[in-house]
Amino acid sequence: MDGREAVLDKYSGRVFKNRKDHIVQLDEAGVSKQIAANSRSVPGLMINRGCCYAGCKGVVLGPLRDIVLITHGPIGCGYYTWGTRRNKADAPDGRNFIQYSFSTDMQETDIVFGGMKKLHQAIKEAVEIFHPKAVMICSTCPIGLIGDDINAVASEAEKEFGITCIAYSCEGYKGVSQSAGHHIANNGLMKRVIGSAKDEVKEKAFRINILGEYNIGGDGWEQERLLKKIGYEVVAVLTGDGSYEALTHAHTANLNLVQCHRSINYIAEMMKTKYNIDWIKVNFIGIDETIRTLRELAEYFNDEELKKRTEEVIAEELDEIAEERAFYQSKLEGKTAGVFVGGSRSHHYQNVLKDFGVKTVIAGYEFAHRDDYEGREVIPDIKLDADSKNIETITVQPDEQLYHVALDKERFNELRKNNIELEYYKGMFKDMGDGTITVDDFNHYETEKILEIFKPDIFYSGIKDKYMIQKKGVPSNQLHSYDYSGPYACFKGAITFARNTYLSIYTPAWKMLTPPWRTQSTLEGTIGDENYA
Amino acid sequence: MLDMTPKEIVKRKALRVNPAKTCQPVGAMYAALGVHRCMPHSHGSQGCCSYHRTFLARHFKEPAIATTSSFSEGACVFGGGSNLKKAVKNIFDIYNPDIIAVHTTCLSETIGDDLNTLIQELEIPEGKLVIHTNTPSYVGSHINGFANMMTGFIKYLSEKSAVDNGKIGIFPGFVNPGDMHELKRIAKLIGAKYIMFPDTDGTMNAPLTGHYEMYPKGGTTINEIRQLGGARHVLALGEITSAAPALEIKRKCDVDSTMLPLPMGIEATDSFVMALSHLSKKEVPAEIEEERGQLLDIMVDSHAYYGDKRVAIAGDPDTVLGLASFCLELGMKPKYMITGTPDQKFTQKAKEKLLKYGVIDCIAKANTDLFELHQLMKNESVDLLIGGTHCKYIARAEDVPFVRAGFPILDRYVHSYMPLVGYRGAMRMAELISNALLDRQDRDAADKDFELVM
């Protein structure tokens, strides 16, 4: 029985039938394999997925610092997304709403008689007390069921209070995971925010947006530091330490950098259509990957000075970390890892592990789609199911005023030929080795089995399974929230990541799991009764 | 920090800002985790279950197991019956609990899933059990969810008995495993026979051995919940949290109960000890009296640092009342006592307590939020703030010493092992409070005033 079969062995017929296509064993790197993804979870399995609201409010909109983001619904949803994703924000003008949680705290009567009046009143109070630049509303499960028209309330509020007010129908039950919520959030931002400043595009500057970077533990800040050091101008980050204000100008960038492909490829695509901004898949997690990314960026802009500066900065940064890098490599070389997180990170982190000689033997995503595993070339083959069809898809048209010429076709093709990830994402599979296993929508039971079969030296996951993994004697670090550490991005971040990994594996406590009395006797006895002799 | 909070207090009717409560299901999940070999099950969409598990894992630094019915749009239209059926089969197949404790979410409540009927229609394996409770998120708070889940267990399992089995039921309230452990220790010292329900001591503080047990030792057993119906008496601790299950055990099994405050501080612990002694017909042992005397010794030794200090306390209603009780015993003056849970009993209880100590200018409020507390503190500040982790932002913004106590504590370790109840718990509280105040005194002291002894 191979690893995959052993994991599936316990399942009853029905569950087996469902799960078998979500677990793939890769026998040969590079050979394409199909995986089932972005489909409904099996009821009763202890999974790690969140909901549509979590993706919309929790992930994409949550990090915006200069807006009042009201959760319309009972108190829980707003409460759980309050400061819990560690997306740091720093408002130079002091207008930082990240430390706040706003909710309509729906009561039974609101459910019975409708919550629209309460929502309107809540917006009014928010405007009067906080004077925000914009108010956004995210709905939770019961809102869709009782039929509150949050869009109507929002447009009324816009007129009445003279602010931007945007509603997102991101009820938790929509779609099959938080992925649906990313989509809804992105649609709303695209329709109402991005490009709304209407300012003209500046040609030939190295102006970029960073997409799908949520500034967990300050990752986005580290990327900005590096990029600015080279000479780039960061127009907007979507949405780590993001602001409504910056987003309105996002269309003026010359290139979009896509970090988390899953949560934001929609916006990258739409901005290409509407403003002709090219996008490039980047990865700032890992030393070699950061170098690759920086070189590809320089290649894209094709400026000699920029290329030169890029190499100087790379050399400088490498030099700064050289000593620590060597130390952690000496400690981590040859170790094995499991990497199970939401989207993209499970791929990105394999690269930084590789930097330190750690092999990823098992990996999985919580809410990815097939293209995140198999690469964007499979997108035309992905069959939409009913749950996905329920999520609004918007089409955008070229903006007559703001559409601008980026690369000419010839250069674009030339770059693509050189394997630069322009408007392409290769997916996780191509970077995984022989015999490795990938699990989509992994669950508690499978995680346990996988730990037993593969016995990795360290397992990266989230808080829900972290403690279970450690109880099994395997060190576990969180990759959703970095265990209150970070940043993990770029050169210095790689060292922080390696240090945390090293500390987890080498903590002296692991050597003390077995109490000494289990192996050494504490009782001194005699055979029989001494007096008897 | 919290720079957008204005000093001027405007009356709000609809907008909740920085809540001091969360929703029912997470409380229900926690209660179910205090039952041995029980799988909590969330009947609704996936996100709720994920959020609740995350929150409990973060507070306890422990795995918080629970499954979900994984509703998608279809289930919202056609009802969640088929999802529950599939879920229950899979849970018994894969995770093999003895009992599944189902709680609802605002989604399954709003579509009106009738859990009574749905559960009757399930195929449940021989010897296994499925119970449920209704926990609509738009009513009450996590405290009510906790109480409702206890009530659900009693409704399904507790059996009326003609004979008193001599055991004292202890409903510990929404407290940490460390608190439950301490309550049991006191009962054991007295020699009382007891059933602690629920009991997360052992389940939410399981040891690290290198072997993961999905159902660790610990937790109230199904048999014990059955036996609650024949208990001599129930001590329902936390008058707001434990009232509903106490009422249910009386209604269903005719077991009388005494409502007591959470045993925090001298007086409340005295009441608990007296009740245990009275009911078990056992004398209070010297060891307990010794602990009590030691606590008093600490309070007298350190009294100078607390006297007349103004304190703001935020959190769950019974916890706030308990903490306030001890603060008053220390000679402190509660200035604000707030909870998010909407139960007016809270203000009434607070007033009684404050009156007894002659404190007249304390604002005690239920159904409010941390934003209001912060605004109040901006208008008139305090010397100390006690509450869960979310309060740390206010403490920093207003530069007020801060003691973490209650739920949730997301940014510190060890708290869930250490009791706040009993004389030992009070000793620890005295330590936390005096350390916070003395650390501040040291921090604010000029070099020339920075001293070694006190």
Neighbours of A503 (CB within 10 A): 12
Contact B90 A44 (CB under 8 A): yes
**Closest to B386 in 3D by CA, of B363, B409, B358, B360:** B409
Give me the residues of chain B with pLDDT under 70, please: none
pLDDT of residue B431: 98
Contact A52 B68 (CB under 8 A): no
Backbone angles phi, psi at B39, to 5 degrees: -105, 115
**C-alpha to C-alpha distance for B25 and B426, rounded to whole angstroms:** 30
Backbone angles phi, psi at A377, to 5 degrees: -60, -20
Determine the longest span between alpha carbons in chain A, in angstroms. 108
Contact B139 A103 (CB under 8 A): no
Mutation target among B12, B24, B46 for the A interface, most CBs of A within 10 A: B46
When CB atoms are compared, the residue of A46, A52, A101 closest to B19 is A101
Does this model's pTM top 0.80? My answer is yes
Asked whether the predicted pLDDT for residue A28 surpasses 80, the reply is no
pLDDT of residue A301: 95
pLDDT of residue A504: 98
Mean pLDDT to the nearest integer, A187-198: 96
Contact A74 B106 (CB under 8 A): yes
pLDDT of residue A108: 98
Measured between beta carbons, the chain A residues lying within 8 angstroms of B90 are 12, 15, 42-45
What chain B residue is nearest to A173 in terms of C-alpha separation? B72
SS3 of A264-333: the string is HHHHHHHHHHHHCCEEEECCCCCHHHHHHHHHHHHHHHCCHHHHHHHHHHHHHHHHHHHHHHHHHHHHHC
With 0-12 / 13-18 / 19 or more C-beta atoms within 10 angstroms meaning exposed / middle / buried, residue B248 is buried
Q: Is the dihedral of CA B206, B207, B210, B211 positive or negative?
A: negative
**C-alpha to C-alpha distance for A79 and A34, rounded to whole angstroms:** 38
**C-alpha to C-alpha distance for B178 and B200, rounded to whole angstroms:** 9
Residue tagged active-site, from A37, A49, A51, A134: A51
H or E element: which one contains A212? strand A207-213
pLDDT of residue A529: 63
What chain B residue is nearest to A510 in terms of C-alpha separation? B210
Backbone angles phi, psi at A313, to 5 degrees: -65, -40
H or E element: which one contains B99? strand B99-104
Measured between beta carbons, the chain B residues lying within 8 angstroms of A472 are 210-212
Grouping H, G, I as helix, E, B as strand and the rest as coil, residue A47 is: strand
Q: How far is B187 from chain A (nearest CA, A)?
A: 30
For B284-322, give the DSSP string: PPHHHHHHHHHHHHHHHHTHHHHTT-EEEEESSHHHHHH
With 0-12 / 13-18 / 19 or more C-beta atoms within 10 angstroms meaning exposed / middle / buried, residue B450 is exposed
Band of residue A530 on the pLDDT scale cut at 50, 70, 90 = low
Strand order in the sheet with A164-168: A164-168, A134-139, A67-72, A102-103, B16-17
When CB atoms are compared, the residue of A45, A472, A509 closest to B67 is A45
The token duo for A457 is 């030296």
Q: Contact A143/A73 with Cβ under 8 angstroms?
A: yes
**C-alpha to C-alpha distance for A290 and A402, rounded to whole angstroms:** 31
User: Checking DSSP bridges between strand A359-365 and strand A336-341, what pairing results, if any?
Assistant: parallel
Contact A513 B209 (CB under 8 A): yes
β-bridge partners, A476: A459
Measured between beta carbons, the chain A residues lying within 8 angstroms of B410 are 84
Is A51 a known active-site residue? yes
Please name the residues in contact with B226: beta carbons below 8 A apart, sequence gap of 6 or more: B157, B158, B159
Measured between beta carbons, the chain A residues lying within 8 angstroms of B89 are 12, 44
**C-alpha to C-alpha distance for B250 and B227, rounded to whole angstroms:** 13
**C-alpha to C-alpha distance for A351 and A498, rounded to whole angstroms:** 12
Grouping H, G, I as helix, E, B as strand and the rest as coil, residue B363 is: strand
Mutation target among B12, B22, B50 for the A interface, most CBs of A within 10 A: B50
Asked whether the predicted pLDDT for residue A396 surpasses 80, the reply is yes
**C-alpha to C-alpha distance for B214 and A1, rounded to whole angstroms:** 25
Torsion angle (degrees, nearest 10) of CA B249, B254, B255, B258: 80
Asked whether the predicted pLDDT for residue A31 surpasses 70, the reply is no
Buried b (16+ CB within 10 A) or exposed e, A390-425: bbeeeebeebeebbbebbeeeebeebeeeebbbbeb
Neighbours of B309 (CB within 10 A): 18
Neighbours of A254 (CB within 10 A): 24
Residue tagged active-site, from A54, A154, A253, A490: A54
pLDDT of residue B453: 87
- pLDDT tens profile A351-380: 999 999 999 999 999 999 999 999 999 999
Contact A41 B210 (CB under 8 A): no
Contact A15 B93 (CB under 8 A): yes
**Closest to B405 in 3D by CA, of B346, B302, B325:** B325
Measured between beta carbons, the chain A residues lying within 8 angstroms of B139 are 107-108
Number of H helices, E strands in chain A: 21, 14
Our CA angle for A342, A344, A345, nearest 5°, is 70
When CB atoms are compared, the residue of B22, B57, B83 closest to A75 is B22
Q: Is the dihedral of CA B137, B142, B144, B145 positive or negative?
A: positive
Is A54 a known active-site residue? yes
DSSP state of A382: P
Reported as half-sphere exposure (CB side, CA atoms, 13 A), residue B151 has a value of 21
Contact B17 A387 (CB under 8 A): no
Strand order in the sheet with A437-440: A23-25, A437-440, A359-365, A336-341, A458-461, A476-478
Band of residue A29 on the pLDDT scale cut at 50, 70, 90 = low
Measured between beta carbons, the chain B residues lying within 8 angstroms of A49 are 46-47, 50
Q: How far is B42 from chain A (nearest CA, A)?
A: 9
Q: Contact B37/B89 with Cβ under 8 angstroms?
A: no
Mean pLDDT to the nearest integer, A515-525: 89
- pLDDT tens profile A262-298: 999 999 999 999 999 999 999 999 999 999 999 999 9
Q: What single letter denotes the amino acid at residue B203?
A: T
**C-alpha to C-alpha distance for A443 and B38, rounded to whole angstroms:** 18
- pLDDT tens profile A439-468: 999 999 999 999 999 999 999 999 999 999
Determine the longest span between alpha carbons in chain B, in angstroms. 77
**C-alpha to C-alpha distance for B102 and B117, rounded to whole angstroms:** 13
**C-alpha to C-alpha distance for A270 and A100, rounded to whole angstroms:** 31
Q: Contact B252/B154 with Cβ under 8 angstroms?
A: yes
Contact B48 A76 (CB under 8 A): yes
